[in-house]
Amino acid sequence: MSSILPADPRARATWRWGGALAAILIVQSLLLAAVFWALANGSHRRAIEHALTDDCTFFALTPPVERADELRERLSRDIHRDHFLGLFDGRGRLIAGNVARLPAGPTAGSFVTTVIPTQLPGKTSDEARVTICRLPGDMTLLSGVDLDDTEASLALVWQSLLLALIPGLGLAIVFGLVAGRRAARQVDAVRDLTRRIVAGDLRQRLPVGSDPDSFGMLCAHINTMLDRLEALVAEVRGIGDDIAHQMRTPLTRLRARLDRSLRDARDPAAFAEAAEGALEEVDALLGVVAALLRLREMEDHARRSRFAPVDLARLVDDACDLHRPLAEDRGLVLDCAISPAPPVEGDASLLMEAIANLIDNAMKFGPPGGRVGIELIPHADGGTIRVSDSGTGIPPAERAAVTQRFYRGRRQVEGAGLGLSLVKAIADLHGFELRFAEGRSAVELVCRTPR
Amino acid sequence: MTRILLIEDDDGTADEILLELAASGYEAERAGNLALAGERARAAAFDLLVLDRQLPDGEGLALLADLRAEGRRTPALVLSALGSLDDRVRGLRAGGDDYLPKPFALVELIARIEALLRRPDDSRETRLIAGPLDLDLLTGQATRGGRQLDLLPRELKLLDYMVRRAGSIVTRSMLLRDVWGYSFEPNSNVVDVHMGRLRRKVDGEGEAPLIRNVRGQGYVLDPAG
């Protein structure tokens, strides 16, 4: 089968469409012909039987002496010569008629049999539907109708069927070609575009008509997927650029420092100093790498498996304890207001890292000599950790941006700008909400174990 | 002498680690693939394995799991470029005693190695003495050469931890993990500020400094001063 079909799957589709349609057409025509034949034949037979019964009735009512004349009279009126009539006496001898003898058969209803015509030139036997009836006066009547007509009309039905089938098959093949071509064109369009997309041109979109069919809807779905893909790739590219920029400055500094010390340093102490400076730069770079790795790890969501109940009050208390000396050294007041709260499911180290980052930001971005507030506000299923400072806060326009990697609102402050994005990633991992309080400089981490 | 088997396929990294181990007074040997590592680990008595996860002929953790199944309890420090914490959990489950993600500082590596090689502390001990330092954990009193040190509870815990690891480098992340109970790499110098306060209390004016800052990475308590 496959060997005679074209190798190109699209051409094969054309043949398949056309073939299926032709098969349907043939079956349909045959069914139609059969039904037509059955109905027409039945109706024709009933008409014949009616006429034959009428003959019986007529001759039964005719007085016996007039029957032969009446019969001859009738035969002479039968210009089509498709009627057979025969009047036989009690011993089966022909009295009058155009059949040679009385065929064997039942004397009720009609049946098909072979009769021997006597007045048809060149014909010695003929198929006919006949009925045989006993007439009063010990006579028997044979009345029949030649079936040549019926056979002719059957042949006519077959002929018309075949004649109609040929253009039908032609139409089926044409339709198959058109439908196959159309499908092939659509597939070609998609294939062409996907090839360009694979080659890297993510801006390409599949054509979708104003009133799309199911294929068009599929294309629309693929376009939506491409939109998302394009956005993701842009994001990844952006992150790559960010990383490159983030690394380039310290690497340039590092290179310059090493270059200069190689040239200028004259004694071990000078070399040691240069090496120490270089180490610091490298550590800063490693810090960026580590932070990026942690972000990726957060986004992997692999850490949920280690979640356990976390006591928020203890967590916030520890965070205060950890940061108090640092705040004092920087001349800041660290205010902690903690109320006991129900435990939440989470990773204590990650949550501590998030809080440490929030406190770190508050200490960096708040005004010198200000106040950093850390509150735990309990609710029924957890608590909100609010870290506030006495500064101006993050302008609403920047709030979405600050949780993205490498964003730094105020560039003069040190740090790689990964802090809030890490906090956001940790919050997302837990299903917690990170939000910015209105009208004051505060960030809230709403900790609720998701149901 | 303490013998360490380093299982690491990258030549540059291996050379640096071997030099650092030698400088810290360890006798170190290197295996660049799993087959050789398995052979050496079974043939000779090592005090510690330092094991990379991705090796040319397979996964380092598989070897570790095999060794553990054979009943070899040699402590193992697992190194990996896979920085994910999930990997860390897997590393520890496979029988690793500690897990250090790459990139790491050599000081951190040496500190972790020292921590693994040290005999488990007798944590029931309530009186610790190191050089002039004397800690009574029951009363929470600490003295240096008879001078009362006025330590806050957290500072006492820090000093307790340092005294138990006297002579070894203790890194910031070890302190954060073991004294506070949270394991992460802090952005700010929170731990340093705590250590700074402790040092000011322990090392008074004119006294030889007992706690030393190891550049960039951590601290050492040297009872000899």
Q: Are residues B159 and B203 in the same domain?
A: yes
**Does residue A321 sit at the B interface (CB-CB below 8 Å)?**
yes
For residue B53, what pLDDT is reported? Answer: 84
Angstrom distance (rounded) from CA A137 to CA B221: 148
Phi, psi of B107, rounded to the nearest 5 degrees: -60, -40
Tokens 């032969």 found at: A68
What pairs with residue B147 in β-bridges?
Answer: B144
Among A281, A288, A322, A329, the strongest candidate for a mutation testing the B interface, having the largest count of B CBs within 10 A, is: A322
Closest CB from B180, B193, B215 relative to A326:
B193
Domain count, chain B: 2
Displacement of CA A166 from its chain's centroid (Å): 38
Q: Are residues B108 and B17 in the same domain?
A: yes
Q: Which of B117, B136, B156 is the last residue of a domain?
A: B117
Per-residue pLDDT reduced to its tens digit, B82-104: 555 556 666 666 777 888 877 78
Among A283, A297, A413, A429, the strongest candidate for a mutation testing the B interface, having the largest count of B CBs within 10 A, is: A297
Angstrom distance (rounded) from CA A378 to CA A143: 110
Using the predicted structure, report yes or no on whether residue B213 has a pLDDT greater than 60.
yes
Angstrom distance (rounded) from CA A17 to CA A181: 10
CB contact under 8 A, B187 and A360: yes
pLDDT tens per residue, chain A (451 residues)?
A: 444 545 566 666 667 777 787 788 788 878 887 888 888 888 888 888 898 888 888 888 888 888 888 888 888 888 888 888 888 888 888 888 888 888 877 777 788 888 888 877 777 788 888 898 888 888 888 888 888 777 777 788 788 878 877 887 888 778 878 877 887 888 888 888 888 888 888 888 887 878 878 888 888 888 888 888 888 888 777 777 777 777 777 788 888 888 888 888 788 888 888 888 888 788 778 777 777 777 776 666 655 666 789 999 999 999 999 999 999 999 999 999 999 999 998 888 889 989 999 998 888 887 888 899 999 999 998 999 999 988 777 777 777 666 665 554 444 444 445 678 788 888 888 889 988 887 778 889 999 887 6
Half-sphere exposure of B206 toward its Cβ, with a 13 Å CA cutoff?
Answer: 0
* Structural tokens at position A168: 């039908």
Q: How confident is the model at residue B119 (pLDDT cuts 50, 70, 90)?
A: low
Q: What is the CATH number of domain A302-448?
A: 3.30.565.10
Angstrom distance (rounded) from CA A14 to CA A25: 17
Using the predicted structure, report yes or no on whether residue B3 has a pLDDT greater than 60.
yes
Q: Is residue B22 part of a domain?
A: yes
**Does residue A444 sit at the B interface (CB-CB below 8 Å)?**
no
Identity of the residue numbered A385: I
What pairs with residue B86 in β-bridges?
Answer: none
* Structural tokens at position A220: 């629309």
Q: Are residues B113 and B131 in the same domain?
A: no
Q: Which residues in A217-242 are b (16+ Cβ under 10 Å) and which e?
A: eebbebbeebeeeeeeeeeeeebeeb
Closest CB from B83, B184, B194 relative to A325:
B194
Q: Does domain A11-152 match CATH 3.40.50?
A: no
Q: Are residues B50 and B22 in the same domain?
A: yes
**Does residue A350 sit at the B interface (CB-CB below 8 Å)?**
yes
Q: Is residue B140 part of a domain?
A: yes
Q: Are residues B113 and B22 in the same domain?
A: yes
Q: Is residue B180 part of a domain?
A: yes
Q: Are residues B112 and B162 in the same domain?
A: no
For residue B197, what pLDDT is reported? Answer: 92
Q: Is residue B204 part of a domain?
A: yes
For residue A411, what pLDDT is reported? Answer: 42
Q: Per-residue pLDDT averaged across B140-161, rounded?
A: 90
Longest CA pairwise span in chain B (Å):
59
Domain carrying residue B43: 3-117
**Does residue B153 sit at the A interface (CB-CB below 8 Å)?**
no
Closest CB from A280, A289, A349 relative to B103:
A289
Percent of chain B having pLDDT more than 90? 24
A5: left (phi over 0), alpha (psi -120 to 50) or beta: beta
Q: Are A383 and A312 in contact (CB under 8 A)?
A: yes
Closest CB from A287, A302, A352 relative to B182:
A352
Residue B14, domain CATH:
3.40.50.2300
**Does residue B81 sit at the A interface (CB-CB below 8 Å)?**
no
Q: Are residues B97 and B47 in the same domain?
A: yes
Q: Are residues B93 and B42 in the same domain?
A: yes
Q: Per-residue pLDDT averaged across B163-175, rounded?
A: 86
CB contact under 8 A, A353 and B188: no
Q: Are B73 and B96 in contact (CB under 8 A)?
A: no
Query: SS3 breakdown of chain B: % helix, strand, coil, rounded to 5?
Result: 40, 25, 35
For residue A116, what pLDDT is reported? Answer: 85
CA trace torsion A33, A38, A40, A41 (10° rounding) = 130
Q: Are residues B11 and B108 in the same domain?
A: yes
CB contact under 8 A, A349 and B186: no
CA distance readout (Å), B99 to A129, A394, B77, B93, B131:
104, 38, 6, 11, 32
Angstrom distance (rounded) from CA A164 to CA A156: 12
User: Counting every residue, how long is chain A?
Assistant: 451
Q: Are residues B89 and B15 in the same domain?
A: yes
Q: Where do the H-state alpha helices sit in chain B?
A: 11-23, 34-43, 60-69, 85-93, 106-117, 153-164, 172-175, 190-202
CB contact under 8 A, A318 and B83: no
Q: Is residue B60 part of a domain?
A: yes
**Does residue B182 sit at the A interface (CB-CB below 8 Å)?**
yes
Q: Are residues B139 and B162 in the same domain?
A: yes
Chain A contact set for B89 (CB, 8 A): 305-306
Q: Report the residue of chain B nearest A420, measured CA to CA.
A: B187
Q: Are residues B113 and B209 in the same domain?
A: no
Q: Is residue B122 part of a domain?
A: no
Sort A413 into a burial class: Cβ within 10 Å, 0-12 / 13-18 / 19+.
exposed
For residue A8, what pLDDT is reported? Answer: 65
Residue B207, domain CATH:
1.10.10.10
For residue A138, what pLDDT is reported? Answer: 86
